[in-house]
Structures are given as structure tokens and as C-alpha cells.
A and B are shown apart, each in its own frame.
Chain A
Amino acid sequence: MTITFLILAGLTIAGTVAAMGLRNLIHCVLALTLGFVGLAALYMHLGAQFAGFVQILVYIGGVAILAVFAIMTTQSAEPVTRPGSAPFWVAGTLVATGVFAVLAWAIHGSGAHGRVLPAEPVVTAQQIGFALMRGYVLPLELMGLLLTVALIGAVVVAIHERGESI
């Protein structure tokens, strides 16, 4: 395990644990952003530079900002005094630990440990463009349709009805 991987993995895990554990919602989202940056760096370390930049652009520039807006518009006036976790948080954590144990056992039992590394692929944006326009054109069009539907749906769901107070 190289030192780069350890640092990036540590950063990502620290960010995500803080995101799920902190009480203040905005701090959670900022820690989540740190986790996303760590993940983007891991993608670039694995050679998928384009995917790393898309991760930063979409997740940090889109999803994190969206979450922040949602938190700001849904915070009521009273300060947060109740605990951030539901009363059954122990059960939730136990379930998650169980899932992790099963997955780790599956990974350990598989042949993933001694996998030989193929040559470093050179992924240019031009190749990705060709792939999108040739082999993956149907998923591309479906993504366009999905994004349009999601855009219209989000506006319809969250629209300010006339006469209703926010």
C-alpha cells in the first residue's frame, strides 16, 4: 500500500466519518466536501483524470452547494439542542458494521489480493468523447432525458405555490 494511497484514504475516511458524525449540519457538508476531494484525488491516482475532475465539478460544485442551500432554507429559528442522532443509532451502526464485515470477508476470500496490474491506460478526453458518441450514445441520450425530467421534477416539487408562506 503506497503512502499516497494511505494519505488519500485517510483524508477521505476522516471527511466521511466527520460528515456522518458531526452535529452541525453545515459542518457535515463541509466535511463531506473534503471526502469528495479525497475521492477525486483517488480517481486521479488510479488514472481516471477525467472522472476526478467531473467528480469535483459535479459533486462539490453541484451536490454540496445544493445541500448547503437546502440546509439554509430549512433551518428553523430554534437552535439545535436535541441530539443529532435518532434513539436507535446503535442499531444503525451495528447494521453498518455487519455489512462492512460481510463485504470485507468477501473481498478477502476473493482473488483480489494478488491481482496483476495491467499497463497504465492513457485516457484522453478525445477517447471519452468518441466513446460517448459511438458506443455509449444511448446512455448519453437517456442521461439527457433523465436530467431534463429531474430538473422539471425538482422545480415542480419545490415550487412556491401562490398564497402559501414559505
Chain B
Amino acid sequence: MSHVQMLDQIFVIVKHWLLAYVPAGWQPLASAVMSVVPVLILFPLLFAITTVLERKGLARLQNRYGPNRVGPFGILQPIADGVKSLTKEDIVPRSADQMVHLLAPLLLVTAAFLGYAVIPIGRGMVITDMNGGVLFFFAISSLVELAVFMAGWSSRSKYSLFGAMRAIAQMISYEVPLVLAAVVVIMAAGTLSTVSIVNAQASYSGIFPHWFVFTPWGFTGFALFMVAATAESNRSPFDLPEGESEIIAGYYIEYSGFKFALFFLGEYLGMMATSAMAITLFLGGWAAPFSFLTWVPSYFWFFAKLLALICGFIWIRGTLPRLRMDQLMNFSWKFILPMTVINIIAAGVWRFMPMGPWRWLVCSLMIAGPFIVLGRATSWQGKGVAVRKYRYAE
């Protein structure tokens, strides 16, 4: 194979070469281990990079420096954070439920890691190509909700219980739009397998790629998916459960030391897993943006897109204020959910119309019309929008 292809498939080639040294009986187990271990090492590394990127990025957005003492420009900060969380005393309240208190962060991290099993990182690089890959991913994210509840309830403290209930209410409200926004891609690709979905997007017409995001329903679906993903990971502007007032951390208030770090890890891993799924479903997975760029290895494009989405998350966190609980729920049930259903109808119309400018126009109008109507209806709440009056201190 040519050099370009060899660079693209280098990890697969290395894995097969190593597998040849393993005795035949152990090969399935060794193959599984060799697929899983790089993911287990790589994504926590990406988590470490994300923490420093987030702190520096948020700081710059807020006109300050961020961590800049540990290492040049603060890039060794995660090491300092890791050492701190490992050496802090692990305090468990005496009235807490010890077993459930211990199991909650473990379940969270396990569920977060399990989601990576169906994400294709490169051409031919996926841990397991399941027939129902997308469904598996969404089933695993329902385990995360249970872990959040376990964390909040086991601490036996009022604030953590309220935080957990709010967090679960938010997560289940946004889980339905998340799944429905993904359904539109499943409809278009005709399969639940993530590898097939990426393969359906890996072709080019001229120089432009066939990513699903470049269609009206795909663009809407991507936007809705990202909004729902932000809410699912409890990130700003949906972080009411965890920044309830800035001194009370919500459902993991009674956790300290390494378990707190595990919660942090689990939350970021969940955010990255949902971003990875968004890339797989809408942004073409490992496919290059233009047809003349296909010589760059596929895994490079995947991580470039992942980094772009993470920067998008950080940017939104630094820009938008937090939503209240009732605003959040209204937004989900009255705006996002009807938009996802309308999106599915628009995708169906797209499928059956002949190719050309007409279908672009019809589908875009089918989505934009309800968007404007629903947006106005949910934001006015019966009152007109008045001119803002400013009051200054006298």
C-alpha cells in the first residue's frame, strides 16, 4: 500500500504485528486489550489537556490570565491538579451511605468510558462495530443519570439531594431531544452502526464532503444535538445542578479527594464522548473536509474536530449566563423537542424530493418557519418584549 495509506493505518498495522507474537488461544483477549488500552490512555490524556485549555480559555474570555505558574504558560497544571486530588483527605460523612457513596463515581466513570466503545476514531479503528452502536451509546448514557442520583442521595445532605434531583430532571428532559436529533441521521443512513454512518459520509462530490451537517436537516440536527449534549453533561449554560450557588457544588458536594477527581473525569469524559458521537453522526467522523486533504491520516481529522467541539463548549461556557431551572425545562420541552420532531419530518421530505435547489428551499423553510414561530412563542410567554430600562445607582 502507498505511504499515505500506511500512515493512515499505522495503528492497525502495529496492532496486527503485535498480535502475531501472541499464542493463538490468547489472540481474541489480546486483541480486545490492545484495542481498549489506547482509548483508556488517550482520552484521560485529552481530559488533562482539556482542563488546562478550559481554564486558560475561560480566563482569557474573562480578561485574566488563568493558571500560568506550573510549567510554561501553565500547561503542566493538570499534573499539579492530579497530585492535589490524590493527596487530599478522602472525607466521607458519617451519616452517608458508605457503599453507594463509593459506587457512584465508579459507575459514572465506567459508564463514561463504555461510551467510547462504538466511536470510530479512524479508518478501520473502532473498538467494536456493533449492529446497534448508536443505541448502545444512548443506553449507556442512561446509566450516567443513575450514577448522578446515587451520588446525590448517598451523601444524605439536603443540598446534594436537591442538586441530584434537579440534575436528573434536567438530564432526562434533554435525553429525549438528544436521541431524536440522532434519529434523523439514523433515518438518512439507514443503519444504527456507527462505522456505516461514517462510511456513508466519507465520499465527496467535487471537493465538498457529504457530511450530514451540510444539509438543512443535518445542520439543525447538529445544533439541537449540541444543545442537548451541553445539557446532558451539565455544562454551562445548563449547569444549575452543579453551580447552584457558587459555594455549593450540588450533587457532589460531599465528595473530596480522589472521588471528586473521578466525578470531574467522568463529566469531562461524558462531554467528550457526546462530542465524539456528534462528530460521528453529523461531522463525518474521520473524513477529511475537502477531497484534496484526504492524504492527512484519518485519526488526525477526528481529533481536530473533537478539539474544535471542545473549544466550542468552552467558548459557550465563557459567554452565556446560566439558565434557571424553569427556563431550562421550558426550553427543552417546548422548543427543542418540537424542533427535533419537525426536523425528522423535514429529513423525510428531503429523502423523497428529487435532488436540486427546490429541496434545499423547501426543507429549509420547513425548519426555519417553526423555529421562528416557536422561538417567539416560548420567549415571550404572553408578555410583549419591551424596551429595556436601565437603573443606575444614585
A joins B in a complex: yes
Q: Which residues of A contact B (CB under 8 A)?
A: 24, 26-27, 30, 33, 49-50, 53-54, 56-57, 60-62, 64-65, 68-69, 72, 123-126
Whole-angstrom distance between the Cβ of B97 and the nearest chain A Cβ? 8
Instruction: Kindly state the separation between the CA atoms of A60 and B145 in the bound complex, as whole angstroms.
Output: 9
Q: Given contacts A56-B140, A60-B142, A124-B191, list 11 more A-B pairs with CB under 8 A.
A: A26-B97, A27-B100, A53-B132, A53-B135, A60-B139, A60-B146, A61-B175, A65-B145, A68-B146, A72-B153, A125-B131
Q: What are 8 sample pairs from A and B whose C-beta atoms fall under 8 A apart?
A: A30-B150, A49-B130, A49-B131, A53-B132, A60-B142, A62-B142, A65-B149, A69-B168
Nearest CB in chain A to that of B100: its residue = A30
A65 proximity list for chain B (CB < 8 A): 142, 145-146, 149, 168, 172
- How far apart are A130's CB and chain B's nearest CB, in angstroms? 11
Q: Does B49 contact A (CB under 8 A)?
A: no
> When the two chains form their complex, are residues B165 and A69 in contact, meaning their CB atoms are under 8 A apart?
yes
Query: Which residues on the B side are within 8 Å of A57 (C-beta)?
Result: 135, 138-139, 142
Q: Tell me if B143 is interfacial: C-beta within 8 Å of chain A.
A: yes
Contact with A along B129-170 (1 / 0, CB 8 A): 011100110111011011001100100000001000100100
State the CA gap A60–B172 with chains docked (Å): 12
Residue B28 interfacial (CB < 8 Å): no
- Which of B97, B139, B168, B190 is in CB contact (< 8 Å) with A126? B190
Q: Nearest chain-A residue to B143 (Cβ)?
A: A60
Asked, given contacts A26-B153, A27-B100, A49-B132, whether A72 binds B161 with beta carbons under 8 Å apart, the answer is yes
Q: Are B136's CB and A53's CB within 8 A?
A: yes
Cβ–Cβ < 8 Å partners of A69 in chain B? 165, 168
The 8 A CB mask of B167-202 against A (1 = contact, 0 = none) is 010001001000000000000001110000000000
Interface size on B, residues (CB 8 A): 25
CB of B142 within 8 A of CB of A56, answer yes
A147 to chain B, nearest CB (A): 12
Report yes or no: B168 in contact with A124, Cβ–Cβ below 8 A: no
Using CB atoms and an 8 Å cutoff, list the residues of chain B in contact with chain A.
97, 100, 130-132, 135-136, 138-140, 142-143, 145-146, 149-150, 153, 161, 165, 168, 172, 175, 190-192
Q: Closest B-chain residue to A71, C-beta based?
A: B153
Our pick among A30, A56, A125 for the contact of B192 (Cβ within 8 Å) is A125
- The residue of chain A having its C-beta at the shortest distance from the C-beta of B136 within the complex is A53
- B165 & A72 in contact (Cβ 8 Å cutoff): yes
Which residue of A24, A50, A64, A125 contacts B146 across the interface (Cβ within 8 Å)? A64
Please indicate the chain B residues that have their CB under 8 angstroms from the CB of A30 in the complex.
100, 146, 150
A56–B138 Cα distance when bound, in Å, is 9
Interface centre among A53, A54, A57, A62 (most CB of B within 10 A): A53
Q: How far is the CA of A106 from the CA of B191 in the complex (A)?
A: 42
* Chain A: CB-nearest residue to B142: A61
* Chain B min CB distance to A140 (Å): 15
Residues of A within 8 A of B168 (CB): 65, 68-69
Could you say which of A26, A61, A68 has the most chain B C-beta atoms within 10 Å of its C-beta?
A: A61
Bound complex: CA A61 to CA B190 (Å): 25
- How many whole Å from B82's CB to the nearest CB in chain A? 30
Contact: B100 with A61, CB < 8 Å? Answer: no
With a CB–CB cut-off of 8 A, which chain A residues contact B150?
30
Chain A residues whose CB sits within 8 angstroms of the CB of B97 once the complex forms: 24, 26
Chain A nearest CB: distance from B147 CB in Å?
Answer: 11
Q: How far is the CA of A24 from the CA of B154 in the complex (A)?
A: 12
Shortest 4 CB-CB contacts between residues of A and residues of B: A61-B142, A56-B139, A53-B135, A125-B192
With both beta carbons as reference points, the residue of chain B lying nearest to A37 in the complex is identified as B143
Given the contacts A61-B175, A65-B168, A72-B161, A33 and B130 also touching, CB distance less than 8 Å:
no
Shortest Cβ gap from A69 to chain B (Å): 7
Contacting pair A125 B135 (CB below 8 A): yes
Query: Closest residue to B99 on the A side, CB-wise?
Result: A27
Q: A26-B153, A53-B139, A65-B149 are in contact. Are A125 and B165 (CB under 8 A)?
A: no
Q: Which residue of A lies closest to B145 (CB)?
A: A65
Give the complex CA separation of A61 and B146 in angstroms.
Answer: 8
Residues of A within 8 A of B140 (CB): 56
| Inter-chain contacts of B100 with A (CB < 8 A) | 26-27, 30
Q: Which residues of chain B come closer than 8 Å to A54, judged between CB atoms?
A: 135
Least CB distance from B285 to A in Å reads 19
Taking the nearest CB of chain A, how far is it from the CB of B197, in angstroms?
A: 12
Which residue, of B138, B146, B150, B168, has the highest number of chain A Cβ atoms within 10 A? B146
Q: Min CB distance, B94 to chain A, in Å?
A: 15
Alpha-carbon distance between A55 and B28 when the two chains are bound, in angstroms: 28
A3 to chain B, nearest CB (A): 15
Specify which chain A residues have a CB less than 8 angstroms from the CB of B191 in the assembled complex.
124-126
A125 x B132 contact (CB < 8 A):
yes
Residues of A within 8 A of B138 (CB): 57
User: In the complex, how many angstroms separate the beta carbon of B10 from the nearest chain A beta carbon?
Assistant: 32
The answer for the CA separation of A57 and B192 in the assembled complex, in Å, is 15
Q: Inside 8 A of A60's CB, which chain B residues have their CB?
A: 139, 142-143, 146
Q: Are B135 and A33 in contact (CB under 8 A)?
A: no
Which of chain B's residues have a CB closer than 8 A to the CB of A24? 97
